[in-house]
Structure 1
Amino acid sequence: MNELAVQRNAVIELMRISPVADQLAARFAAAGHRLYLVGGSVRDALLGRLSPDLDFTTDARPDQVLAVVAGWADAVWDVGIAFGTVGVTKDGSQLEITTFRADSYDQVSRNPEVTFGDSIDGDLLRRDFTCNAMAIELPSKSFVDPHGGLDAVRLKVLDTPATPQESFSDDPLRMLRAARFVSQLGFEPAPRVVEAMTSMAGEIRRITAERVQAELSKLLTGAHPRLGLELLVDTGLADHVLPEVPGMRLAIDEHHQHKDVYQHSLTVLDQAIGLERKEDPDAEPDLVLRLAALLHDIGKPATRKFEDGGGVSFHHHEVVGAKMARKRLRELKYSKEIVEQVSQLVFLHLRFHGYGKGEWTDSAVRRYVTDAGPLLSRLHKLVRADCTTRNKRKAAALQRTYDDLEARIDRIAAAEDLAKVRPDLDGNEIMKLLGLPPGPLVGQAWKFLKELRLDRGPLEHDEAVAELRRWAAEQGIAGPDQGTPG
């Protein structure tokens, strides 16, 4: 199929699913303004990734855009109007309409000094990558591609309309966006883009942590996160935004061999994603699992110790790694929930290796489940993904052992409802039996009974009461009918 046919088919298909674009174009034309479908909407149509969310650009100024959509749009929002963007919803589609831009940047922060432009060519020149610098003029539906964006999409090459140095100097966030598009689209960056990213990596420090985090999250939840991460590490960008990852590239001593921790971690990430997709091919990407897989061994460099005889140990690297993961994710402004979930998975990822050939007691199995809590399904995937040995016999043995652990969890859970492990007596019963008011002593008694429940499984009510009274006597706490200890 020739180039014109590809363009025409993409445009026809996009318009077929988005009739609101024709309606909007008619309103702009009637008001004497030009309108173009632009950027990611066009790129995704060419890639067969159709979406009801569309981006437009126009010569109309923001107040004129508001006048054009008044009475037609189902809803309008103007939070981006200072940057020339008006948001619109219509018939289930979300539209963003932005006035032609000719921004300049202050070269200190990434904040643009907004200047509105007058031509589509000028607008496309200021866009981040050529694959996003294509437009469809409406209502004529003619294709506008002054920077070879169609070829970039066809060849899966990531390049910039202006020079990469100009583009990244204007907005260093674009360097992270390059890695994100590599992950999401599987594109390969042009050599000049890689060169500019490498020489300008330090400029990323101008970007806020919130914006960095947003791009990293999109990268990690893309289809090819390993490619995006490798680009960040190879160009030196990761040294500034996620230094623990390149920090795992440990020099291997010829007398003390161990796995390359960096490459191992990328392989664990790949395998975790494979397990995620195997469980549910249509599920949304699991950011928590992917972060945990990437960061599970970041404590190894700080804990590496060369042993006599050529061995290498990483004692307590899961403890150190959990603290490091928590610190880094907080600095990147991740939510408290994500920080705690990822750091807990890093902390627990090594626990299974004490299972041996099934030596754990039922109490140990209960504790494994209880400590994992709602993260248990993710922990299962992380532990299985962490097996990267090339020894097929060893790998199969590890997987069989974990199969056995999961089967034991299922058996015990069926009998005891492990998801809701609670003491056999609740707080009200504890207070009544011991004559205590609400306070720390009740919490201590509750914790004692929970530990007992984990160790011995469910207790009969009378047995739980007897154990509580025994514990209370040891603590010098008298029940309501036992007088005051002398």
Structure 2
Amino acid sequence: MDFEVWPEALELGRLFAQEGFELALVGGPVRDLLLRRPSHDLDFCTSAKPERFEPILRRWGQGFWDMGRKFGTLGAMRRRPDGTEVKVEVTTYRSDRYEPDSRKPDVDYGDSLEGDLSRRDFTVNAMALRVPDLEFVDPFGGASDLSKRVLRTPVDPRQSFDDDPLRMMRAVRFVAQLGFRIAPETAEALSDMTDRISIVSAERVRDELTKLLLSEHASDGVEALVDSGLADQVLPELPALQLEIDEHHRHKDVYEHTLMVLDRAIALETGPDGPVPAPDLTLRMAALLHDIGKPATRRFEPGGKVSFHHHDAVGAKLARKRLKALRFDKRLIDDVCDLIAMHLRFHGYVDERWTDAAVRRYAKETGPLYERLNRLTRADATTRNKRKAQVFSAAMDELEDRVRQLKKKENLDAIRPDLDGQQIMAILGLEPGPLVGKAYRHMLNYRLDHGPVDPASAEAELKAWWDALPEDQRRSARRSARRP
């Protein structure tokens, strides 16, 4: 085969050979070589024990780590002249044993490359390239499966998934990353064993789901997740979108709509210098979960219509609960849930154009999520009615243009009341307290509704608000201000 192998791999191969050790490039890097995909992280396996090859890595690399030492793995890094980094990890041949209630193996060292390859997840990852002599090793037909774009396990799939259930998540992730399909016998075993995923930590599931959503074929991966039954275990809100309409039929419009929205949102991501650089996990997760409130809010109305009132608010709550359970970080959870809660905000604009005050408020309240929300809103408009689609698109174009025009006149991202907290306290004779915060929020709303005003007008509005408060609130606030 025609390999254009990394020079670092060849160099390491020579260094190991000089010490009498075997070294082979394995797994993803070999697969990516055949697919002509770039890879900067190189995985190797060797006949040497860690204490024997550690000095080689230390001499070769500019950085060294040994967090995987108990699994027989050591790593090193070297920086190329162009500034790019090449990371390598080398693992002693292994022959692992798994306990039924754990995916963490008892590490047993093996004595052959072929034995090491047999423990890998899929045949396309069970190929190796001995270095430096470039002997290709493929005992399980990985190259053939690669050409067929199929995922198959090297050993019986039930044994493979029983040993390490995370491999089931990796299968659907590779569907998304590589555009592959899962072999029938492997898919059958996966579907029969989805409950085994319960022994995998939420963090591991989260990481695989993240990689899936950030992949080139994300919606294919989502379909594989749902069709396999894994979603019932790790993200049950998705299969719940396949709403039943009677005992004989299934209505998949919401689920199929969700897949379409995900694809459309991905298509609206921008280049690296744009406002939503691809791939954007926040936008993709919001697109995936934006309608998960519909099953709980579905109502059958007179005339055969179906409504989903408040599914945006309900969906945001469900998404927060699920994403917390999957251990996503707080910032992403907050942003995704805010996008879901706001994804219907724009729809009123289509029927009745907003005032400048309403446009200003929309831009201010959506804040750093403005660009993502607009893309989610556009992606969500999947109507097949061309006239409606054109009207919706034109209205969104108009809104975005109005926001741009307002931003030229005002710094919408940094809008503050015309009076700050100190000025409010001075005018009303107050000390810091809850009523000052209420006054500040009132003046912020006034600013959003009316735009910037002169100091005299702002002070008059503040005093009018104050005079409209109940007498007991004003008396209590000023009494607190007089206390020493």
TM tier, smaller? over 0.9
Helix, strand or coil at the partner of 2:268: helix
Match of 1:339 in 2: 333
Match of 1:382 in 2: 376
Counterparts of 2:272 and 2:383 in 1: how far apart (Å)? 23
Which letter does structure 2 place at the counterpart of 1:84? Answer: G
Helix, strand or coil at the partner of 2:95: coil
Counterparts of 2:133 and 2:350 in 1: how far apart (Å)? 69
Match of 1:57 in 2: 45
Match of 1:44 in 2: 32
Counterparts of 1:118 and 1:428 in 2: how far apart (Å)? 75
Please point out which of 207, 215, 229 is paired with 1:214: 207
Please point out which of 426, 440, 447 is paired with 2:434: 440
Match of 2:259 in 1: 266
Match of 2:126 in 1: 133
Helix, strand or coil at the partner of 2:169: helix
Is 1:450 the counterpart of 2:444? The answer is: yes
Contact 1:74 1:90 in 2 (8 A): yes
Helix, strand or coil at the partner of 1:396: helix
Is 1:33 the counterpart of 2:26? The answer is: no
Counterparts of 2:251 and 2:45 in 1: how far apart (Å)? 54
Match of 1:238 in 2: 231
Gaps of 5+ in 1: 1-6
Match of 2:418 in 1: 424
Q: How far apart are residue 253 of structure 1 and its match?
A: 5.4
Match of 2:82 in 1: none
Which letter does structure 2 place at the counterpart of 1:98? Answer: T
Aligned-pair Cα RMSD in Å: 2.1
Is 1:19 the counterpart of 2:7? The answer is: yes
Match of 1:363 in 2: 357
Please point out which of 391, 406, 414 is paired with 1:412: 406
Counterparts of 1:336 and 1:215 in 2: how far apart (Å)? 18
Counterparts of 1:85 and 1:291 in 2: how far apart (Å)? 34
Helix, strand or coil at the partner of 2:382: coil
Residues 422, 262 of structure 1: alpha-carbon distance in 2 compared, 3 angstrom cutoff = same
Contact 1:221 1:285 in 2 (8 A): yes
Match of 1:158 in 2: 151
Contact 1:158 1:190 in 2 (8 A): yes
Is 1:103 the counterpart of 2:96? The answer is: yes
Alignment of 1:385-400 (within 5 A): 385-400=379-394
Q: How far apart are residue 257 of structure 1 and its match?
A: 12
Counterparts of 1:469 and 1:84 in 2: how far apart (Å)? 73
Q: How far apart are residue 430 of structure 1 and its match?
A: 2.1
Between 444-453 and 183-192, report the one with greater CA deviation: 444-453
Q: How far apart are residue 97 of structure 1 and its match?
A: 0.8
Helix, strand or coil at the partner of 2:25: strand
Q: How far apart are residue 258 of structure 1 and its match?
A: 8.1
Which letter does structure 2 place at the counterpart of 1:85? Answer: T
Contact 2:269 2:278 in 1 (8 A): no
Counterparts of 1:258 and 1:165 in 2: how far apart (Å)? 32
Contact 2:14 2:132 in 1 (8 A): yes
Alignment of 1:78-97 (within 5 A): 78-91=66-79, 92-97=85-90
Is 1:252 the counterpart of 2:252? The answer is: no
Match of 1:3 in 2: none
Residues 236, 280 of structure 1: alpha-carbon distance in 2 compared, 3 angstrom cutoff = farther
Counterparts of 2:94 and 2:452 in 1: how far apart (Å)? 68
Counterparts of 1:336 and 1:112 in 2: how far apart (Å)? 32
Between 395-404 and 276-285, report the one with greater CA deviation: 276-285
Contact 1:357 1:401 in 2 (8 A): no
Counterparts of 1:259 and 1:71 in 2: how far apart (Å)? 59
Counterparts of 2:59 and 2:44 in 1: how far apart (Å)? 19
Q: How far apart are residue 117 of structure 1 and its match?
A: 1.0
Counterparts of 1:253 and 1:166 in 2: how far apart (Å)? 39
Between 299-308 and 283-292, report the one with greater CA deviation: 283-292
Counterparts of 1:52 and 1:329 in 2: how far apart (Å)? 31
Match of 1:4 in 2: none
Q: How far apart are residue 129 of structure 1 and its match?
A: 0.5
Contact 1:250 1:261 in 2 (8 A): yes
Helix, strand or coil at the partner of 2:136: strand
Aligned-residue sequence identity (percent) comes to 52
Alignment of 1:307-318 (within 5 A): 307-318=301-312
Contact 1:358 1:405 in 2 (8 A): no
Which letter does structure 2 place at the counterpart of 1:183? Answer: A
Gaps of 5+ in 2: 80-84
Q: TM-score, normalised by structure 2?
A: 0.93
Helix, strand or coil at the partner of 1:104: coil
Counterparts of 1:143 and 1:405 in 2: how far apart (Å)? 58
Helix, strand or coil at the partner of 2:91: strand
Residues 133, 111 of structure 1: alpha-carbon distance in 2 compared, 3 angstrom cutoff = same
Between 442-451 and 333-342, report the one with greater CA deviation: 442-451
Contact 1:434 1:477 in 2 (8 A): no
Residues 280, 235 of structure 1: alpha-carbon distance in 2 compared, 3 angstrom cutoff = farther
Counterparts of 2:461 and 2:429 in 1: how far apart (Å)? 16
Helix, strand or coil at the partner of 2:350: coil
Helix, strand or coil at the partner of 1:97: strand
Match of 1:353 in 2: 347
Helix, strand or coil at the partner of 2:77: strand
